[in-house]
Structure 1
Amino acid sequence: MVNLGQKVTLSELLSKIPSNEYDWYIFEIDAVGIAPDGMTMSEFEDFVLECDYGYKISWSKLLEFSKSISDLNNLILVSSTRAVTFKEYEESNSTLLVTLEVRDSSFWEVVFYNLYN
């Protein structure tokens, strides 16, 4: 979806996903705000890119983190039945539950896969 040139917030996008107890994995993030674990946002962005399985975060921590983001440019966020590599994410959706992608601040897509299986 495109927000007609208006930037979207992570909190706004997460509100489109039902509350859950799944593990979430951040594979890419380019944002302005307060990063988790005492890192600067730049350190966190680099750390996320270096993680083979993405940065694992619970739903409750993700909601909390979303409130600390003031500007979101790019994001790849995945919920899966098990940890997956970025390559697995790109090639197969058999273990995926939900994906959320943001590009250029205003294009976003939420895809539900096996959420209700």
Structure 2
Amino acid sequence: MSESLRIPMWAGKSLIGLNDILSVVPVNEWEWRLWDFFGTGQAPEGSPMAEFEQRVTETPEGVGFNWPEIANFAAGLDQTHDCLLTAAQPHMGPTPAQVSDSNWDACLLVISAEDSTEWRLWARLDAELNTTLVSAWRALARCSET
């Protein structure tokens, strides 16, 4: 079972950031991969953001994170302009060819953003967790409208 959802990144003056999106994801042992990123804030390991963005661009298999690392990265961001982030069971994630073809069969979650306008969220988990995540993500969009 999978669920997909699009929510605006901006509603009025409120920004829904990657940290907000990940805040409703349970602590996990998944393998997180960042395939595309352009944004502002603190890059991992204190590197300049431009260097980190270049590293993401030059890493065909995506830059890998565990849960604490991706959560910390998201917490240090000011804004995400473009992003493609996947989560999968360890050693079961998508190949670069699958990502290129937008084939998410190997993924549990896919989080993407384009042009600072919209989050595209996709989840393939058990039905209860899908329902919980999608409801929480919809609530983020509603909260940002007030």
Which of 9, 12, 23 does residue 17 from structure 2 map onto? 9
Shift of 1:90: 4.0
Deviations 1:68-102 (A, max 9, x none): 11111111000123243332124332211100011
Shift of 1:35: 0.6
Q: Name the Cα RMSD after superposition.
A: 1.9
Give the secondary structure class of the aligned counterpart of 2:32.
Answer: strand
Give the secondary structure class of the aligned counterpart of 1:96.
Answer: coil
Structure (1 or 2) with the greater helix fraction: 2
Which of 67, 71, 86 does residue 96 from structure 2 map onto? 86
Which of 78, 83, 98 does residue 109 from structure 2 map onto? 98
Cα distance in 2 for partners of 1:41, 1:13 equals: 21
Question: Residues 19-58 of structure 1 correspond to what in structure 2 (within 5 A)?
Answer: 19-58=27-66
Consecutive unaligned residues in structure 2, runs of 5 or more: 1-6, 128-146
Of structures 1 and 2, the larger Rg is shown by: 2
Cα distance in 2 for partners of 1:90, 1:116 equals: 26
Q: Is contact 1:7-1:105 (8 Å) kept?
A: no
Cα distance in 2 for partners of 1:52, 1:104 equals: 22
Shift of 1:21: 1.2
Q: Is contact 1:53-1:83 (8 Å) kept?
A: no
Cα distance in 1 for partners of 2:44, 2:84 equals: 17
Cα distance in 1 for partners of 2:115, 2:78 equals: 15
Identity percentage of aligned residues: 24
- TM norm structure 1: 0.86
Q: Is contact 1:33-1:41 (8 Å) kept?
A: yes
Cα distance in 2 for partners of 1:16, 1:110 equals: 12
Q: Is contact 1:29-1:74 (8 Å) kept?
A: yes
